[in-house]
Structure 1
Amino acid sequence: MGQMHTEIQQSNGNYKLRVFPSSIKNKDAYMQLSSLISTMGLAENENVPISKVVKTNKWITLKGSSTHFGVYATVKAQKGICEYLDVNMEVTYHGNEPLHAGLQVRYDLFGSGQPTWMIPGAFYKENRFSHNTRMYPRYDYNGGDIEKLESDYWAFRSDRAALPAVFAWNDHFSGALFTEEMSSVGLTGLGFIGNKDETTIWLNYPYREEPKTFFSPVEPHPADCPTYQWKPAETVKIQYKVYVGEQDLHAYDPFIRELYSQHQKMYSLNPWVDLKKAAELTAHGLHYWHYDPNYHILNETAAFDRELNGNVGGKGDRPHMHVGWVSGAQYAHALLTYGRRNDVKSYTEAAINVMDKIASGLAPIGIFWAEWKVDKGWGTGWNPNRNWLQARTISEATLFMVRSLLFEHKHDQTHQDWEKAVQSNLDFAVQCQREDGNFGSYYHCETGKVEEWDGAGGILWIAALLEGHKYFQDDRYLNAALLAGHYYRHFIKDEFIYGAPEDVHLTPTSEDAYNGVVAYVLLYEADKKEQWLQLASHVADWMMTFRWTYNLAFPKFSMLRQLDFRSRGADQASPSNQHLHNYGLFCVPEMLRLWHYTGDTYYLDRTRDNLACFMQCIAREDGDFNAYKGMVTERYYNTNSFQAKGMLLTLSHAWCVGVILYAAQEAQAFSEELRIMG
C-alpha cells in the first residue's frame, strides 16, 4: 500500500479501515472507515458494513452489502506531492422499485483534543466569533444556538468550496476527504461534526446542507437535503480521496498542492483578452463609467442597464467613494500610471483630481476619512460604529498615495498636498502603534483612540510604512513596520487572519490573505531576513485555500454557463460573502516577486490562473454580456448564496475595474512567464 500506513481491523465479522500518518507513532490517533457507505433520506437509514477484504501489493478491495445496496471499493495508495488514498466505489441498488436515497461516506477521527476545521474558502476553524456583528455559520463544540447559526455540525454543497475538501485537526494529526464538485448522482457535499462523543468528517452524494442553508446573513434558509432516485439494479460510481498529515495547522498545504496539480490538467483556462487589452479596456471603463468630473471621485458602482438606471433616478450608480478598498486611491493610482505611460492626458488629469480629493479629506485625528458621499461629504464608511475609522481602508489609501508619489517622482512631478496627507497618516500609525507592534483595527475619528485592538485590519500599515520609508527616508516608518511584522505573524501561524473588510467584522477573508502577502513580501525586500520570506510563503499558501482549483459546473441556462466562464483561478470573497471576486489581483506583483524569490512555481501557476480568470468578463464592447465597454462586475455567483448559481451581479464596480487595470499593467513585465493569451 505504499508509505501511508493503513490497517484492517476485524470485529464481529465486519472490518474497519484505519489510516495513520506515516510520521505518527501513536496508535490511538487515526482515521477510521467503519462502513463503506451510509444511506441518507430513508425512513430508516442503513449502513453498508465492510464484510470482505482482499489485500494485494497494489490496493485493498473492500466489499459489503445491506438491505438495499451492495458496494465494491478499491483503495489504492498514491504518492505525488503528498501521500493520499484513492478510493473508487461501485454502489449497486438491489431493489425492484425506484428508491429515493442519498449516500454518505464517513471517516471518524480518533485522538484527544477538540477538533478544528477547514473547508477551503467556506469554513475556517470556528469560522465566526460569538461576538461578531455579522451572522454566518459558526462551529460550537457544545452545540450552540442554531437560530444564531451555531452548531456542532455543518454540511455544505461542494460548490461553496474553492476545493471540495473537508479538513479536520485534533491534538495528534490532521485528516481530510476530497471529492469532485459533481458526481454520477449530482452535486456533492462536505460535512463534519465535533463534540464530546465524536469527531467525524464526511462526503455526501448528493449534497446536503444542514442544519441550516446559508443563503445570506439576513436570510438563512431551512436545511436542504435532496436525494437521488435509484433505478432497479442501477450501479453508480463514486470516487474520493483520503489524506492524513501532521497536527500542524499548515498540514493542508501539501494536499491542496497535489489536488491543484491534478486539476491543472483537468480544467482549462479561457482568458478573453491579453494583459495589454485588459488594461486598455479597464482604463476606459474606469474613466468613462466611474470617474465623476463634477466631484472628482470614482463612483463605486455603475449600472449595466443604463435605461433602468435612468428610470430609477440613477440609483444603480453609487455616487460615493471610499478612499481605499472599494474605490479610491488604488484605482486612481492605476489610472494615473496608465495615463502617463500611454500619454492619455484625460486619464492622468482625472487620477490626479481623485488623489487631490482624497488628500483633502483628513479627519480630525490626521488620517483619511474613509468615504465621501454626495450631499454628505466625508464620513467613516461601513464600520460597526459610525464614529470609527478602519485601519485597512485608511492604510490601503495611504499605501497607494505614497506609491503614486514614488511614481510621479520618476516623472519629475511633485504633489505637496499628497505628501502632507501621507505623512500625517504614517505619523498617526507610528503614534498609535502598541508596544507589541499592533496598530489596532478601528480608531475613533475624533479622539484617535484605538477602539478595537482585535484582528489584522492594521496589517497593511506595514506596506504603507515601508513604501513611506522609501519616499521620506524616515527610519521611524521602517522600525514601526518591522515591529508590526513580528506582531502580525501570529495570525499567519494560527492560519486564521481576519478583520480586513469594513463590512464583515472580524471575519476571515481572502482580503486578509492578500494584505498579508503584500506586507511580508515588502518586509523581506526591506529587511532581507529569511523569516519574512517564510511568512510571505505561509500566508500565500493560506490565500490559495480561497482560490478555485477547478471549473464550476454552472447550470445549463445560467449566464456564466452561456459565457463559458472558467472559475479556476477565482477567489471566494469570504465564508460570510460567498461569491467569486477578483480582489486577489491586488497582490499580483507581490506574488510574482514571491515566486521569483522562492523559485516555487506553484505561486507563478496560481497567479497565472488568477489573472487568466479575470481576463474573462471584461466588456469588450457595448452589449458584451449586457454590460458596456470596460465594465466589470463585482460578483460571480458560485453557489446558492445571495443569488442563484451561475448569475453575475449587473453592476460594474470601481474596484473590480481598477484592480484589473492595476494588475494587468504590473504583470506585463512577466508576460513571457505568465503566457496569458500570448
Structure 2
Amino acid sequence: MEWTTQNRNGGTELYILGIGQASSTCSMRFAALLSLLDDSGRAVDIPVDRVIPMKDGFQVEGKYEDFEIVSRWVLIHDITSYYDVHLEMYYTGSVEKEAGLRIGCDLLGGGKPDWMIPGAFYKENRFEHNFRKYPRYDYHGGKAAEMVSDHWSFRSDRAALPAVFAWNDGMCGALFTDEVSAIGLSGLGFRGNAEGTQIWLDFPYREEPVTFVGEPVPDPADVNMHSFKPGEQIQLKFKLYAGASDPHAYDPFVRQMYKLHQEDHTLNPWIGLKEAGELSAHGLYTWHYREEYGILNETAAFDREFNNNVKQQGDRPHMHVGWVSGAPYAYALLAYGRKHGISRYIQAAHSVLSKVASGIAPNGTFWASWIVGKGWTTGWNPKSDWLQARTIAEATLFMIRALVLEQSYGDQHKDWEQAVLSNLDFAEAHQREDGNFGSYYHCESGRVEEWDGAGGMLWIAALLEGAQLFGNSDYKEAAVAGGAYYKSFIINEYIYGAPEDVHLTPTSEDAYNAVVSYVLLYEHDKQNKWLDLAKSAADWMMTFRWTYNLDFPKFSFLGQYDFKSRGADQASTSNQHLHNYGLFCVPEMLRLWRYSGDDYYKDRTRDHIACFLQFVAREDGDFNAYKGMVTERFYNTNCFQPKGMMLTLSHAWCVGLVLYASQEAMAYAADLDLPL
C-alpha cells in the first residue's frame, strides 16, 4: 500500500493507492482530514494542511477555526498490509460546540460500487422484488420511507466486524474502527451514485436516512452529536485497507482484524462439552418433546407461570420437519440416547422421526410443518401453496443420518427409507439441466415456483449421503451438477435464499449450507475445486461471525451476565440478532480445517462453540429459564428489542444444535481447547 498527495482545488488531498496501482486513478482519496457534521447532516470539511513523511508512514495535520487535528498513519505488514491511524483532536473554543465527526474517503476507480458491512449489509442487500422489507441500496436513490437509498449510515454494533468495505472496477477499500470510541458508539456508512463512491466512519454514530428496527416500517433517522467542551482533547482510532478488486478481497483484512481481536476479546464458556450435551438433551426432551403428538415444539416459554396464564401460547405446538425443529434435532437426541443408553430419548427421537416420515405432500416431498389443530402445512413461505427447498432438503439429510445411525445398531425403519427416497427422487427429477434444484415448489404439482436463490443448495449434501446409503450413482451425479451450478453464488460472494421466512435474503444460514455441501463434494471425489469453494464459503460465513465482544449497556441482561459475543453469528441482514445456527456445520468446519491445514477455521469454529456454551440453563432458575433451555435471540443492537436483551423463549433448534455440536466436537476437544 502506497500513499501520495496532490494539490487540488486550492488544498492538499491524500491518496492511498490500491494494490498494484502506480497512480491515484484507483485509490482511496481523502479530500479532507475529517468533517464536522451538524444534526441535519451539513458538513464542514477540515482540510489537510500538510502531510509529513515518517519512517513507517506519515503524519497529517489540519486546522479549522477552533479545531486542531494531528493524525499519525503507520503502515503495518502482517496477514495483510493496512494503515493503523491514531487521530488527536483539540478544541480550543471558549464555549461548548456540538458536532458529529466523520472520517471518510472517496473510492476512485470507476464502475458502480458493491458494499459489505460484515453481517449487516451485502451488495444491494435486498432485491427489489423481495417480499421482506429491510435496508436496500439503489445507485439511483429511492424512497427512504421504503428503506431504499443510495446512502446508508449504521451503528457499529450492527456489524460482526465494525468495518465498511466498498468495491469498484479497480479496487476494494475498507475502513475499520472499534465499536465504541472516546465519544460514544461509532458508526459506519457509505454512498454511491453518479457523483461518486464514498465510505466513512461516524463519531458518534448516525443512522440515516432512516433507522431499521426489524419492522417493514422504519423509525426516523437517529442522529447523535458530541458536545465539545473548551480545552477538550479526544483521541480516535481507525484502520484502513486498500485491496484488489477481487470480490474475495475482504478476507485478508477480516482475518487481520480477527487476529487483533483474539488478543483483546476473551471467550467465556460457562460449561464443558459433556455438560452441554447432558443439559441440552434434557432440555430438548423435557421442554420441547410432546409425546401425544410425536413432535418437538418449536418454542417453550422460560416463564412457565406466564405461559399458563396465556393458555400455553409461549409453547408453540408447531414442528417444522427441518430448520427450526424436526429431524435434525431428533437425530441429535437419538445419537445422544444411543450413545448413553437412555431409552426415553431414543423412543422420543423415533417418534419424531416417524412423524416427519409420515408427512409426505402430494408432490412427493415432505410437508414443511405440522401444527396442532391443522395438521401438515407448507410453513412460513411467501405463498401458502409453496414448499421451500432448504427446509425439505435439511429434513432429508438428517433422516438419512438417522437411518445410518440406526443401521449401526441393527435397526431398520422402512417408513423412514421410503420417505427419504421419495424426497431424493423428487430433487433429482426436478433438477434443471444447469444443476439448479429450485428454491420453492408447489405443494401439489411439484412445479418449481421460484428458481432464484440458493435455497436448493443443501440437496447436494442430502443426495451425496443418500447415494452412499442407497448405492444410487444417479444421486451423486445430481449432487455434482448442483455443485457446478451453485458455485456462482460463492464466487460472487452473495449467497441468499436459505430460510423460509426471509425471502431471497443473504443470511449466515446460506453460508452454513454451502460449507456442508462443498465439504461433502470434496469428500466425494477429492477435487480441489470443491475444497476451494468450501473455503471461500467458510470465509464468507466468517463475515457474519463476531470477532469482538460487544459493549452491552451496564444494566442490560447481557451486560449483567457479561455475555461474550465473540463467536456469535448475525442471523441475517434482515433478522439482526445473534444466533447459534453455525453449530449446524461444526463437523464440516472441523473437517475443512483438517483438509486445508488452515487454523483460522478451527479457531473461529471454537469461538462459535465457546460462545454458545454460555446461556445453556444449568438448573431451573438459571437466567430465569429452566434446566436445559436455550434462547434463539441475543440482541446486539437496536433491532427488534433494545441492545442487551435476550428473547425469553427456548427454541427447539437452538437446544438441538447445542446437543448436536457438543457431541460432534468431542472428537476435536483437545485441538479446540474447550472444556470437557
Query: TM-score, normalised to structure 1's length?
Result: 0.99
- The 3-state SS of whatever aligns with 1:440 is coil
Aligned to 1:253: 251
Give CA deviations for 1:309-368 in whole Å, capped at 9, x if unaligned: 000000000000000000000000000000000011000000000000000010011110
Letter in 1 for 2:251: D
Structure 1 residue 58 displacement after superposition: 2.1
* Equivalent position to 2:53, from 52, 55, 67: 55
What is the aligned partner in structure 2 of residue 419 from structure 1? 417
For residue 631 of structure 2, give the secondary structure of its aligned residue in structure 1.
coil
Offset, 1:25: 4.1
Q: 2:437 aligns with which of 439, 447, 454?
A: 439
Of 598, 601, 607, 1:609 maps to: 607
CA distance in 1, matches of 2:558, 2:650: 16
- Which region of structure 1 is more displaced relative to structure 2, 9-18 or 516-525? 9-18
Shift, 1:111, TM fit? 1.4
Q: Which residue of 2 aligns with 1:264?
A: 262
How is 1:79-98 mapped onto 2 (pairs within 5 angstroms)? 79-98=77-96
Show structure 2 runs of 5+ residues with no match: none
Q: Deviations over 1:388-422 (max 9, x none)?
A: 00000000000000000011111111100000000
Match of 1:335 in 2: 333
For residue 31 of structure 1, the aligned residue among 20, 28, 33 is 28
User: Residue 237 of structure 1 aligns with which residue?
Assistant: 235
Q: Which residue of 1 aligns with 2:352?
A: 354
Provide closer, same or farther for how the CA distance between residues 34 and 344 of structure 1 changes in structure 2, counting only shifts above 3 A.
Answer: same
Counterpart code for 2:294: H
2:371 corresponds in structure 1 to: 373
Deviations, residues 3-27 of structure 1 (Å, cap 9, x unaligned) = x111122346632110112313454
Amino acid aligned to 2:586 = V
* RMSD over aligned Cα atoms: 0.9
Q: Is the 8 A contact 2:438 2:455 kept in 1?
A: yes
The aligned counterpart of 1:551 is: 549
| Counterpart Cα distance in 2 of 1:110 and 1:227 | 30
Structure 2 residue aligned with 1:108: 106
Question: How much does 1:369 deviate?
Answer: 0.3
**Which whole-Å CA distance do the structure 2 matches of 1:68 and 1:603 have between them?**
49
CA deviation vs aligned residue, 1:544-603 (integer Å, no higher than 9, x gap): 000000000000100001111000000000010000000000000000000000000000
- 1:444, 1:373 → 2: CA distance? 19
Is 1:226–2:209 an aligned residue pair?
Answer: no
- Secondary structure (helix, strand or coil) at the match of 2:537 reads helix
Letter in 2 for 1:34: A
Partner secondary structure for residue 19 of structure 1: strand
Partner of 1:302: 300
Output the CA distance in 1 between the equivalents of 2:96 and 2:638: 28
Instruction: Flag the 1:42–1:622 CA change in 2: closer, same or farther, 3 A.
Output: closer
State the AA in 1 paired with 2:575: N
8 Å Cα contact 2:512-2:541 kept in structure 1: yes
Q: CA deviation at 1:42?
A: 5.9
Deviation by residue 1:138-160 (Cα, 9 ceiling, x = unmatched): 00000012222100000000000
Query: In the TM superposition, what is the alpha-carbon distance from 1:211 to its structure 2 partner?
Result: 0.1
Structure 1 equivalent of residue 622 of structure 2: 624
Alpha-carbon distance between aligned partners in 2 of 1:386 and 1:204, rounded to the nearest angstrom: 44
Report deviation, 1:57. Answer: 2.0
SS for the counterpart of 2:83 is strand
Q: What is aligned with 1:151? A: 149
User: How far apart are residue 98 of structure 1 and its match?
Assistant: 1.6
Whole-Å Cα distance in 1 between the matches of residues 254 and 150 of structure 2?
25
Higher mean C-alpha deviation, range 647-656 or range 14-23: 14-23
Residues 165 and 176 in structure 1, CA contact (< 8 A), matched pair in contact too: yes
**Alpha carbons 2:28, 2:107 under 8 Å: kept:** yes
Counterpart mapping for 1:268-667 below 5 A: 268-667=266-665
Pair 1:21 & 2:18 matched: yes
User: In the comparison of the two structures, how many residue pairs are matched?
Assistant: 675
SS at match of 2:460: helix
Match of 2:123 among 114, 122, 125: 125
Cα distance, 1:100 vs structure 2: 1.7
Q: 2:520 is aligned with what amino acid? A: L
Tell me, yes or no, if structure 1 residue 40 matches structure 2 residue 24: no
Contact 1:217–1:576 under 8 Å retained in 2: no
Q: 1:45: how far off?
A: 3.5
Q: Using the alignment, how far apart are the partners of 2:171 and 2:109 within structure 1? A: 8
Residues 399 and 420 in structure 2, CA contact (< 8 A), matched pair in contact too: yes
Does the C-alpha gap of structure 1 residues 479 and 641 become closer, same or farther in structure 2, counting only changes over 3 Å? same
The code of the aligned residue for 1:79 comes to: H
Work out whether residues 13 and 51 of structure 1, in 8 Å CA contact, stay in contact via their aligned partners in 2: no
Distance 1:647 1:384 in 2: 29
- Is the contact made by 1:134 and 1:217 (CA closer than 8 Å) also made in structure 2? no
Q: Distance in 1 between matches of 2:648 and 2:52?
A: 56
Report the TM-score when normalising by structure 2.
Answer: 0.99
Answer whether contact 2:11 2:49 (CA < 8 A) is retained. yes
**Alignment partner of 1:35: what SS?**
coil
Do the aligned partners of 2:15 and 2:24 also contact (CA within 8 Å) in 1? no
Cα distance between partner residues in 2 of 1:562 and 1:519: 39
Q: Return the offset for 1:647.
A: 0.1
Q: Quote the residue 1:6 is aligned against.
A: 3
Counterpart-to-counterpart distance in 2, 1:77 and 1:17: 15
CA contact (8 A) 2:281 2:628 kept: yes
Equivalent position SS for 1:520: helix
Structure 2 partner of 1:181: 179
SS in 1 for 2:449: strand
Q: For 2:167 and 2:5, how far apart are their aligned partners in 1?
A: 22
What SS is found at the alignment partner of 1:249?
A: coil
Higher mean alpha-carbon deviation, 25-34 vs 535-544, is at 25-34
Opposite residue 261 of structure 2, the aligned amino acid is H
The residue type paired with residue 19 of structure 2 is S
Please state whether the residue corresponding to 1:92 is helix, strand or coil: strand
For residues 29 and 345 of structure 1, what CA distance do their matches in structure 2 show?
66
> Is the 1:77–1:85 Cα contact (8 Å) retained in structure 2?
yes
Distance 1:46 1:232 in 2: 20
Percent identity between the two aligned chains = 60
**Distance (whole Å) between structure 1 residues aligned to residue 43 and residue 510 of structure 2:** 42
1:621-658 C-alpha deviation (Å, 9 max, x unpaired): 00100000000000000000000000000000000000
Contact 2:18–2:26 (CA under 8 A) maintained in structure 1: no
Unaligned runs of 5+ in 1: none
2:72 alignment partner AA:
T
CA contact (8 A) 2:19 2:171 kept: no
